[in-house]
Amino acid sequence: MSALPSHAVAPGLEEGVDPDIDYDALVTEDHKPVDSIFLEKQYRLLTRPLYATWPGPGEGRSFLVLVNVGWFYQRKTPAVVPDCLLSLDVMCPEDLHRKQGHSYYQWDVGKPPDVAIKVVSDRKGGEESFKKNLYARLGVHYYAVFDPEHLLSEDTLRVYELAGGNYRLGDPGPWANLGLGLRLWEGEFEGHQDTWLRWCDVNGEIIPTGEERVRELEAELRQLKGERSPKRRNRTRRPTGGN
């Protein structure tokens, strides 16, 4: 990964020092299938809308949103794998086929993700214990736990915000420092009706997929044509009576 001006130095690395990392020795794939079809669809709903219709965090600023990709936060330490991570002001690597382009390497990016999301699929993942403590220690500003089957609690969505090095229950946003937030959305995606986790913009509006945006534009166009049609008929109507 390459980065814009860095905000943090990866643990275990000194700023300005070439770590001389053997990328080929890093394990970036576990060859395990995604837990479920629902999760596979949810992954797309967390990435496609941002790349399709979100203008980004600001002029000249970039972002990266990834799902099920390893985050190497420290040398000689196995990666952690959030279901989704969002990082502002970083660039996607140019060559995604090289090992250096396979994962989120914090020593290359220069900062931890801004948001990490975990989707609960069982009671063994440590979402509310080990992972929450780790993400807080690593400086992830927002950590969201999406629990659609209520395996850990009655809350479908819990969002934690970093304060003083620890997490406290927070608000799902929108967060002014990111221009994004999270929302639970009841609707149909790819032919399946369910409760989904989606991004919202700075105004709290759901960020649409590219297909949803096209349908919105088509509906607006039909409405515009419908408003113009009566006026056109009135202009072309021939007068009746008289000589």
Predicted local confidence at residue 19, as pLDDT: 56
As a whole number, the mean pLDDT across the chain is 87
Residue 30 has pLDDT above 70, yes or no: no
Residues 6+ apart with CB under 8 A from 18: none
* Phi, psi at 43, each rounded to 5°: -55, -45
Strand intervals (E) in 130-217: 142-146, 157-163, 166-169, 181-189, 192-200
| pLDDT for the residue numbered 5 | 39
Six token digits for residue 105: 């390497």
Q: What is the pLDDT of residue 219?
A: 93
Q: What is the pTM of this model?
A: 0.81
Q: What is the distance between the alpha carbons of residues 215 and 221, in angstroms, rounded to a whole number?
A: 10
pLDDT tens sequence across 90-116: 999 888 888 788 899 999 999 999 999
What's the rounded Cα separation, in Å, for the pair 96 and 115? Answer: 22
Per-residue pLDDT, averaged over 41-69, amounts to: 96
The secondary structure of residue 72, as a DSSP letter, is E
